[in-house]
Structure 1
Amino acid sequence: MSRPIVIENASLYGDTTASILVEDGVITAVGEVAAPEGAVVVDATGLIALPGLVDLHTHLREPGREDAETIETGSRAASRGGWTAVFAMANTNPVADTAGVVEQVWSRGREIGLVDVFPVGAVTVGLKGEHLSEMGAMAHSKANVRLFSDDGVCVYDPVIMRRALEYVKTFDGAIVQHAQDLRLTEGSQMHEGEVSAELGLAGWPAVAEESIVARDALLAEHVGSRVHVQHLSTAGSVEIIRWAKARGISVTAEATPHHLLLTDESARTYDPLFKVNPPLRTQSDVDALRAAVADGTIDIIATDHAPHAAEDKDCEWAAASFGMLGLETALGVIQKALVDTGALTWRDVARLMSENPARIGKVDDQHGRPLAEGEPANITLVDPAAAWTVDGAQLASRASNTPYGGMELPGRAVATLLRGEPTYLSPRFEGAFA
């Protein structure tokens, strides 16, 4: 049995100041708290307490690309970023398209214990888009998979997409779509626009995303099933999601921190750290995404944490892999782009980065719960004044491909508790738990 923990003087959701008593992995009191004998008492003055963050879109690379990331290093990065649960994408080697592979990922996450790792199953065998995977077997495995995605590859065939939506409806699952028309983006390197024309790089047009978003919304309506659209990146996609929701279609959507802060102007450096799929878009797209996050059209913020080995990024732009790190920097980026600008409150951050992801991922019985008596003690403490300069070499991930290197971010997670057990403690708190 672990010692009780009293978190004193925390700002709950950035609103009211209170203390939190944690006993045996559960929050047993909130408000004025008397510390039990032998309790660990930590002073959280100036800190914001949020429910542990839930990332619906993470690449952990294991099995198959442990040179870029492992479940252990990715879990450590996640805990340092304030996350208590992550959903691991299926584009591993072997692909997570069978019950055996998803159970391996789930069990390894449990063994490490820094965050709850929930595997996302592949929609199609080998991510090839030809035949449906063993979704039923994965759903009924001990991993209890409810989200399915070929992320990195669009489920392009509308017949396959329809059948997948019909299949997951039987166990209240969802298809998580990487919206990209493959024919319109063949050979593309960045957003299609003025900057790509000036740089001479093949463009990735906005319509290639928007056409798939619209198609899948209509398919979800036809079938009566759930679809979740990953990493929304264009103003047009925002309008389609807004239209679909007004129509009553069961569609949800996410935006990434990098699409909420960076633009295609970053590509002028030809630095592959800014190469990502979907690509960084224009400032008008960023503005539309920020507005959609604020008004609830976009349901969640997810990282699309995509670690790569050095040789896959330390090369010329055209040869470099798509993707960037995100787990440790997400909170700071969102504070910089949306909280400090007044677009979001910290309570909004809890909704977008904890409550809604847990609900969509069907893990809201344990994660994304209120900071209230009787709830699981999954807690993130954020220091909004902890300005820090990002250095890829100092991040916990095995990879270092962050686009924020040298950028100062305004705040960060300083402590993370998973079921009452500290999984990350900044130097401020290390002595308290000795």
Structure 2
Amino acid sequence: MNVVRHSVAVLAAGTVVLGATVPAFAASPSASLPDGLYGTSDPKYDGVWRQSLALLAQDTVGVKPAAKAVDWLAGQQCANGAFAPFRADTAKACDAKLMVDTNSTGAAVQALAALGGHESVTGKAVSWLKSVQNKDGGWGYAPGGASDANSTSVVIGALTAVGEKPDQVLKDGKSPYDALLKLALPCAGDGSGAFAFQPDKKGELSANADASAAAVVGALGKGLAGDSPKPTGTPPTCKKATGREQAAQNGAAYLVKALAKDKHLTSTLPGAEPQPDYGNTADAVLALATAGHGDKAADAMRWLEANSGAWAKQAGPAAYAQLILAARAETADYNDFGGQDLVELLNATGPKPAALPTAGAYPGKASESAGSSAAKKASEKDSGLGVWWIVGVGLVAGIGLGFLLSGRNKRRQP
């Protein structure tokens, strides 16, 4: 899940003229950006999301973020506990016109819980998330929206992060895991074992690789950082799912097949040429590693190492964070990722970290402030052009498609 997905989601929920071309959106002048924020592109649609991923990724590799970066994120919360994608004026109370969402809220909870010391903020946020739980046990992107696999999985990660047991968070007797199981495809026909984002208008399910990656992690009770257990040593196979663990293994089996041909996932939006999907591929790697099949994600990880540099430079901090989290789950070297130090590059997109690890996978460098000159140049080019190109394609394709309504990009995958 990254800045592209979140930007598409927020735009999809607003008023859009279908068929209109969306121009490249220039980055806001650095002087107008909030102090402590990661990235240089306009934060209107993804500020909380990219900040949360950046802080979470830094924490997982032992970097202590700057206090002002953490304070900025905590300060984005509304009085009712929810988070919007971005609040320019936090002195102004949130009102009914402000679009809050489960993805921004769930991501913020996971980051702040990992960092510690923000129990009041995370507690209020989780209370709000519980208050907007759907009767099927899941969540949609916006409060009251139909449950989808991605949003439900983000909230599961938030619940787990604060010590809640997702199977005990019930609405009308249904848990978040029940909602995910309703979106799992059987082990027969197209998309065997996959998860759908949402049922279509006819109530039918279609395989979606991004939703599958999210749901595998969510069904295992994990969050955006995933996990890196020892590989099982046996390939995942699809079997009749009587519970969430088998459903997760079925989803993993689907992802192995989806990655087999090209070693990456491909975006297939109508009206656009198929393009490698770096963010969804990183999600799939993290999901397979979390399900105990990191060995089956090794080729995709190597593909990302060789090909994701330009995409990450253009997309900014959320992309670097995604790659770090995937590499960590896969036990790949995020300090030498295709010749780039992902942690150094991420650090360079925000305020100077309070502390770097003195030992371990990411050694501190006495001469380092916020990253190397190369990393700083990468940060300066965080213009958001790649984001808006994909947003434009998505809008031309038609906002009515249900898979555009989540915090992730709901592009159907092979």
The reply to whether TM is greater than 0.5 is no
Q: Which has the higher strand share?
A: 1
Decide which structure has the larger Cα Rg and report it: 1
